[in-house]
Each structure stands twice: as structure tokens, then as C-alpha cells.
């Protein structure tokens, strides 16, 4: 049982959470106006108002008048000197050209005397082909071939990019950090993630922003013991950092103060942002399952409805602490595998196995856990993800029945 202080779930944006003092201080900060202030900056000379340079202007003017007279006398003398120098330079150019012609004739005669070496066709360097095309098995489809003309697809580097992302997963494996926390629980984390999903919907943020924000919260809690009063501050600040990293036009800080009902001050959010970045060594490019999911769905030629079903399964795991320690690539592959089975679209093809790096037997234990998660009735206090994917925009995939466990057992035994 959670303490009475934490029985209520996080409210919708605009309401206070994890803070129960009704007499809290309201932020006295006002939003900055997008318009420029009236009246531009006063123009001034670089040094006139800061030094005594203006006192020497008269002396400098006198010197300039005297220099003009000297320049006129020097001009005639320089013209004469220039004409003499031009004549001397022309004589030198003629002598240099003559010496160069003599050297060229001698070198050509020496080269003609040397025996010419015949070219061996076997010594010609072979044409270097794409390394991905050389190592691609015959039964595997090149999923990046049709995107070569799209500059936004980065088809030439896609394979290397996702190989690098898989290698970075080793660095971001999370421990069981709830053992270190003394004032927060798994249920509180679920409430916070449910609220973060609601924030993502209200601000219309990318899904990558939501996944990265949840990862930032988990990695921060893994290295910092936190009190429950700061939990919503951590969540909102994580969304702010992830928005700056993922969004083209991230929400401003005032919006995050508003969604917390001014429970925190501007200085607290900025201080928490600095603390999160410092605790994570400013390394926030964390691999998230959503990126791998889109890549693997392209391998399976999945429709938008099948991809949305896999996204729904993957987003459900964000609230469950039991899935925190799973790798992002394995989570994405397992969610897509379960979605394909639920839609009767076949199994794990060689193309999926090649690009994901997982065989079907490697995914089945996690797939069974995901299917068990689907069979659970949604918690009345944590229904944001479920209600989100019951909308017709998301093909109402949350209403689909889970897969029969017997089919998964037969798949694992075969």
C-alpha cells in the first residue's frame, strides 16, 4: 500500500502533484513578451564616452593637415621609383623564362631515354563496393536501397547508425535502483510516467521525446536519492531536456511551470536541469526503443496499424518498472514480434533477424511477458496510455484482444 500522501494520481496539466501544501508560494515571474522593447539601444562611438579620446581630436586634426602636404610631395617621387622598378622586373622575368625553357628541354630528353614500363592490368586497383552490399546474405532484403534518393533518410549511413546505437546500449543498462530509494516507490514512478504521457499529448511532442524523458528520469534516479516532493520536478525537467534534444520548437520553461500549477519556481527548474545534466555527464543521447521499432517495422513492411499496435505495447512498458532493465533494441523487436503475431502476419523473417540481431527464440521470453501485460486490466488511475490508443486516430489498437498464450508456447517449442 502506498502512503496516504501518494494515493491520488498525478492530475492533468494545470494541477499540482506530489505537493500538498495549499499555501504554496506562487511564482512572481512574468512571461517575457515576444515583442522588442520600445526604443533601440543608444548609439555611441566605440571609445568616445569611455575615454578622453575626444579631447585629442583637435590635435589629431592638425597632424592630418600636415600629413596631407607631405603626401603630395612624396607622391611624385614614388611614381618615378615605380617606373624604374617595373623596368627592372621585366628584365628579370625574361631571364627567368629563358632558364626555365632550358631546364624543361633537358628533363624531356632524359625521360625519353628511360625505358617505358608497361602497365599490368592485374595491378589495377579494384573498385570498392558498399560494405553492406558485400556482407548482405542472399535471403536478406536491402531495406535502405529504396531510400537512396531521399536525403532525409540517411540511407548510406543507416546501417552504421543503428549498429552504433546498439553498441551504446551497453553503456545505459539500468540497475535495480529502487533499492537505493527510500522515499519513492514503483507505484509513484508509474504515476509520474502516466502524467508525462499526458504532458506529451497536451504539448503534441514527438514520441521520441517521451521515451527519452522517461529514460532521463530512470538514469537520474539510479544515481541520486530523491524525495517524493521533487519527483514531479524531475519528470517535468526531464521532458524539458528531452524537448530541447528532440523537438524542432520545444516548449518554453513557462509552459512547464504552468503544467505543474506553479508548484515549483523558475530557479528550481533551472537548478534541476543543471543537476540532471551533471549527474548524467551531459551524455543524454540514450538509445530508445521507439527508434529501433520504426527501423524494424520497415524490415517487416508493416502497415501503419501494425506499427501503431507495436507502439502501444512498447508505450505500456514505460509505466512498468519491471521492464526498465531491458535493452531498447530487444524491447522494440519483441513488441513488433508480438504485434505481427496478433495480426497473423507471419513470424520473424531472415531480414528482421539480420537487422535486429535477434532470433525468434531469443525474443520469446520477453514476448510472453509483454502478452501478459496486455492481458492485465488497465489500472483506473493509470489509464492514459490505454485511453490514448483507444482513439480512432491510433486505429483503436488498445481494444484488440491479446494473443493466446498457447500459440506462444507452441512457437517456443517448435
The pLDDT value recorded for residue 190 is 96
Given 286, 311, 337, which residue is the final one in a domain? Answer: 286
Are residues 177 and 268 both part of a single domain?
A: yes
Residue ranges making up the domain that contains 210: 173-286
Number of domains in the chain: 2
Give the residue from 328, 366, 332, 333 showing the smallest Cα distance to 214: 328
Taking only the tens place, the pLDDT of each residue in 234-283 is 999 999 999 999 999 999 999 999 999 889 999 999 999 999 999 999 99
The pLDDT value recorded for residue 98 is 58
Residue that the C-alpha cell 522588442 belongs to: 36
Are residues 276 and 305 both part of a single domain?
A: no
Are residues 412 and 340 both part of a single domain?
A: yes
Are residues 367 and 390 both part of a single domain?
A: yes
38 within a domain of the structure (yes/no): no
The pLDDT value recorded for residue 154 is 84
The pLDDT value recorded for residue 87 is 62
Are residues 247 and 354 both part of a single domain?
A: no
337 within a domain of the structure (yes/no): yes
pTM of the model: 0.69
Are residues 181 and 300 both part of a single domain?
A: no
Q: Report phi then psi at 31, rounded to 5.
A: -70, 145
274 within a domain of the structure (yes/no): yes
61 within a domain of the structure (yes/no): no
Per-state percent for the chain, helix, strand, coil, to nearest 5: 60, 0, 40
Cell of 75: 607622391
Cell of 309: 499496435
How far, in Å, CA of 266 to CA of 253, rounded?
8
Are residues 268 and 282 both part of a single domain?
A: yes
153 within a domain of the structure (yes/no): no
Residue that the C-alpha cell 570498392 belongs to: 128
- Classified as helix, coil or strand, 9 is coil
161 within a domain of the structure (yes/no): no
CB count within 10 Å of CB 106 equals 9
Are residues 208 and 319 both part of a single domain?
A: no
Are residues 279 and 362 both part of a single domain?
A: no
Cell of 116: 617505358
The pLDDT value recorded for residue 126 is 40
Q: Where are the alpha helices (DSSP H) in 230-327?
A: 231-246, 253-259, 266-279, 289-299, 304-316
12 within a domain of the structure (yes/no): no
Give pLDDT tens digits along the chain (414 positions).
444 433 444 444 545 455 444 444 444 443 343 433 344 343 333 333 434 444 445 555 656 655 654 555 555 555 556 666 666 655 555 555 555 555 555 554 545 544 554 544 444 444 333 444 457 888 999 999 888 888 888 888 999 999 999 999 999 999 999 999 999 999 999 999 999 999 999 999 999 999 999 999 999 999 999 999 999 999 999 999 999 999 999 999 999 999 998 899 999 999 999 999 999 999 999 999 999 999 999 999 999 999 999 999 999 999 999 999 999 999 999 999 999 999 999 889 999 999 999 999 999 999 999 999 999 988 888 999 999 999 999 999 999 999 988 877 776 666
The pLDDT value recorded for residue 71 is 54
The pLDDT value recorded for residue 16 is 47
The pLDDT value recorded for residue 53 is 42
Are residues 275 and 259 both part of a single domain?
A: yes
Q: What is the CATH number of the domain that holds 181?
A: 1.10.472.10
Amino acid at each position: 500500500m502506498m502512503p496516504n500522501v501518494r494515493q491520488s494520481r498525478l492530475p492533468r496539466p494545470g494541477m499540482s502533484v506530489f505537493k500538498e501544501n495549499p499555501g504554496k508560494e506562487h511564482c512572481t515571474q512574468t512571461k517575457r513578451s515576444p515583442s522588442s522593447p520600445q526604443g533601440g539601444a543608444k548609439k555611441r562611438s566605440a571609445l568616445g564616452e569611455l575615454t578622453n579620446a575626444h579631447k585629442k581630436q583637435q590635435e589629431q586634426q592638425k597632424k592630418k593637415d600636415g600629413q596631407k602636404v607631405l603626401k603630395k610631395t612624396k607622391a611624385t617621387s614614388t611614381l618615378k621609383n615605380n617606373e624604374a622598378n617595373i623596368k627592372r622586373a621585366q628584365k628579370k622575368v625574361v631571364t627567368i623564362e629563358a632558364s626555365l625553357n632550358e631546364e624543361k628541354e633537358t628533363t624531356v630528353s632524359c625521360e625519353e631515354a628511360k625505358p617505358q614500363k608497361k602497365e599490368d592490368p592485374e595491378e589495377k586497383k579494384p573498385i570498392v563496393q558498399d560494405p553492406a552490399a558485400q556482407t548482405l546474405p542472399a535471403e536478406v532484403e536491402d531495406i535502405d536501397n529504396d531510400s537512396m534518393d531521399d536525403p532525409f533518410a540517411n540511407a548510406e549511413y543507416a546501417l552504421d547508425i543503428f549498429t552504433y546505437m546498439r553498441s551504446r546500449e551497453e553503456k545505459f543498462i539500468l540497475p535495480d535502483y529502487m533499492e537505493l530509494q527510500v522515499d519513492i516507490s514503483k507505484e509513484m514512478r508509474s504515476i509520474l510516467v502516466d502524467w508525462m504521457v499526458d504532458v506529451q499529448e497536451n504539448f503534441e511532442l514527438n514520441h521520441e521525446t517521451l521515451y527519452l524523458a522517461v529514460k532521463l528520469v530512470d538514469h537520474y534516479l539510479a544515481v541520486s536519492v530523491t524525495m517524493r516532493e521533487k519527483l514531479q520536478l524531475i519528470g517535468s525537467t526531464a521532458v524539458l531536456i528531452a524537448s530541447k534534444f528532440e523537438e524542432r520548437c520545444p516548449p518554453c520553461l513557462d509552459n512547464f511551470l504552468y503544467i505543474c500549477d506553479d508548484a515549483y519556481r523558475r530557479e528550481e527548474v533551472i537548478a534541476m536541469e543543471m543537476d540532471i545534466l551533471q549527474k548524467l555527464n551531459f551524455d543524454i543521447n540514450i538509445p530508445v526503443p521507439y527508434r529501433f521499432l520504426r527501423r524494424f517495422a520497415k524490415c517487416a513492411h508493416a502497415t501503419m496499424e501494425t506499427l501503431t499496435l507495436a507502439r502501444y505495447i512498447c508505450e505500456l512498458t514505460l509505466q512498468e518498472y519491471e521492464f526498465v532493465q531491458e535493452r531498447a533494441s530487444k524491447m522494440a523487436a519483441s513488441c513488433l514480434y508480438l504485434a505481427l503475431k496478433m495480426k497473423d502476419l507471419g513470424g520473424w523473417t531472415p531480414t528482421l533477424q539480420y537487422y535486429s540481431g535477434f532470433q525468434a527464440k531469443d525474443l520469446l521470453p520477453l514476448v510472453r511477458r509483454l502478452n501478459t501485460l496486455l492481458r492485465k486490466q488497465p489500472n483506473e488511475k493509470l489509464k492514459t496510455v490505454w485511453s490514448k490508443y483507444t482513439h480512432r486516430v491510433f486505429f483503436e489498437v488498445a481494444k484488440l484482444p491479446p494473443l493466446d498464450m498457447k500459440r506462444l508456447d507452441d512457437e517456443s517449442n517448435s
